[in-house]
Amino acid sequence: MIEELINKSSAYYCVECRKCSSICPVTRVYGKFSPASIVERALIGIEDEVLKTGDIWKCLSCGLCHMICPSGVDFLSFIRELRNIARENGNVGITTHEGIFESMPKLLLENDIEVEWMKNAEIDDDSDVLYFAGCLPFFDVMFKEVGFDGKKIAESTVSILNKYGIKPSVIYGCCGHDAFWNGDENLFNSIVKKNMKKVREKNASKIIFSCPECYSIFKKYYPEIDAELMHISEFMARQEIKGEENGEEYTFHDSCRLGKHLGIYNEPRDVLKKVGIDIKEMEHNREMAVCCGTSTWMSCDWKSEEIRKGRIEEALKVADAMITTCPKCQIHFKCTLSHENKKLEVKDFVEVIAERIK
C-alpha cells in the first residue's frame, strides 16, 4: 500500500535535499520531526516506523514543504494517505478537545444544525445563492471564553451579501475537511454524500464560503457541483466597494487553506484596501506565511503554542491588530493570547468588511 502512495505522490523523486524540513514550522520548534525523514523512511521500506509513530500526526498539512520541494513531491497527499493507512491499523493520533470535533460529524450525518442566528441579516431559503457556514455554531459554543464569536462571522457574511442585494439561503454543518486530512475516508465520503444531497436540493447557482477549510475541501475534493464556488473575498473582489479612508492599520494572516492550498492572496488584501485598511505585512506573508500551529483539531501541544507565539510576535512587530479569514486560526491565536501577556486584536475578514462597507 505504501508503494502505491509513493508512486501517486511522486515521493520517489525525493533527492533528500531536506528543504522541506528546513522550512517546516513544526521542525523549527521540534527538531526531531522531519517531513524529509518520513519520506525517506517510507522509501527505504521501514513501514512500521512510519505508520506506528506519532510523526504523521504532527504534520500541519500547511503545504510549505510541498511548495518548496524542488522535486515536486506531493507531501500533502503523501501524508494524508499515510494517515488513511495508519488509521486502518489503529494509529489514530491524539485529538484535541477530547475528540469532540472528530466525533461530532458522525452525529451530523443524521442530524442538521438548526440555529436562529440571522436576526440582523436577511436570508431566503429559495435563494439562488447559498452560503455554507460550516461548523461556526459549534465553535461559537466551544470558544466563547477566548472571545470567539462564530455568530458574528456568519451574520457578517450574510449582511455583506445583503448589501449587494443578495438574500442567501444558509446551510450549517461539517464539510468533512478534518475527516479528509485525518485519513478518515469512510466518514469523509459519508459527509460528502450528505452535503452533495443538500446542495443539490438547494439548486443554487453560486455557493459562498467564509471558511477557507470548507471552501478548499469543496473546491478540490468534492465531486463536481453545478454551481460557482467562491470565497467571500473573491465575491467581494468583483463588487464595487465604497469604503472610507480611516488610516486603520492591520496585519493579515494568510490561512494555509485559502493561501497555499488555493492560491488566494490578492483578493482579501485588495478588498481590505478598498475599505480603507492599510495592510502591514508580516515578515512571512502570502505563500511564505506560517501556519497558526494546529490543524484538523489534532496534536495541539507546546509545539503548536511555540509556532503561534512566533506568529504573534511577527504580527506585533508591524501592527496591533490582525485579520484572518479562517475561524480556526482566529480561535488558535485567541487561545494563546488568552494566557500570554500580549495584546493583539484578532478579527475575521468578514467582520471587518461588514463594519465598513457602505
Partner 1 sequence: MSSCPSSAIYHIYDDSILNTKFMTEEISPFDCFNCNYKYIEEGDELIFCIKRFDTGKCIDGLANGMNIVVKKCLFSDEKVEDDEKLYKLRKMLKMIKMEDKIKVE
> Using CB under 8 A as the criterion, which residues of the chain lie in contact with partner 1 when the complex forms?
95, 97-100, 102-104, 106-109, 111-115, 137-138, 141-142
Residue 324: HSE in the Cβ half-sphere, 13 Å Cα cutoff: 31
Q: Closest approach of Cβ 102 to partner 1, in Å?
A: 7
Phi, psi of 211 (to 5 degrees): -95, 120
Q: Which is nearer to partner 1, 108 or 353 (CB)?
A: 108
Q: Which is nearer to partner 1, 300 or 312 (CB)?
A: 300
- DSSP lists the bridge partners of residue 95 as 298
Q: Closest approach of Cβ 141 to partner 1, in Å?
A: 5
Q: Is 321 helix (H, G, I), strand (E, B) or coil?
A: strand
Q: Which is nearer to partner 1, 7 or 103 (CB)?
A: 103
Residue 32: CB atoms within 10 Å: 9
Q: Closest approach of Cβ 120 to partner 1, in Å?
A: 19
C-alpha cell at 353: 468588511
Q: Closest approach of Cβ 281 to partner 1, in Å?
A: 37
Q: Closest approach of Cβ 186 to partner 1, in Å?
A: 13
Q: Closest approach of Cβ 220 to partner 1, in Å?
A: 27
Rounded to whole angstroms, the Cα distance separating 202 from 227 reads 11
Residue listed under C-alpha cell 443539490 = 200
Contact 222, 195 (CB under 8 A): yes
Q: Closest approach of Cβ 279 to partner 1, in Å?
A: 35
Q: Which is nearer to partner 1, 113 or 262 (CB)?
A: 113
Q: Is 37 helix (H, G, I), strand (E, B) or coil?
A: helix
Q: Which is nearer to partner 1, 111 or 341 (CB)?
A: 111
Rounded to whole angstroms, the Cα distance separating 349 from 255 reads 11
Instruction: Collect all residues with Cβ–Cβ distance below 8 Å to 53 and sequence separation of at least 6.
Output: 91
SS3 assignment for 177-230: HHHHHCCCHHHHHHHHHHHHHHHHHHCCCEEEECCHHHHHHHHHHCCCCCCEEE
Q: Which is nearer to partner 1, 73 or 191 (CB)?
A: 191
Q: Closest approach of Cβ 107 to partner 1, in Å?
A: 5
Q: Which is nearer to partner 1, 115 or 262 (CB)?
A: 115
C-alpha cell at 196: 452533495
Q: Which is nearer to partner 1, 44 or 141 (CB)?
A: 141
Q: Closest approach of Cβ 297 to partner 1, in Å?
A: 10
Q: Which is nearer to partner 1, 112 or 122 (CB)?
A: 112
Residue listed under C-alpha cell 475575521 = 348
Instruction: Collect all residues with Cβ–Cβ distance below 8 Å to 57 and sequence separation of at least 6.
Output: 83, 93, 94, 298, 299
Q: Closest approach of Cβ 348 to partner 1, in Å?
A: 21
Rounded to whole angstroms, the Cα distance separating 315 from 308 reads 10
Q: Which segments within the chain are labelled E, that is strand? A: 129-134, 169-172, 206-209, 228-231, 248-253, 277-279, 321-324, 345-348
Q: Which is nearer to partner 1, 126 or 145 (CB)?
A: 145
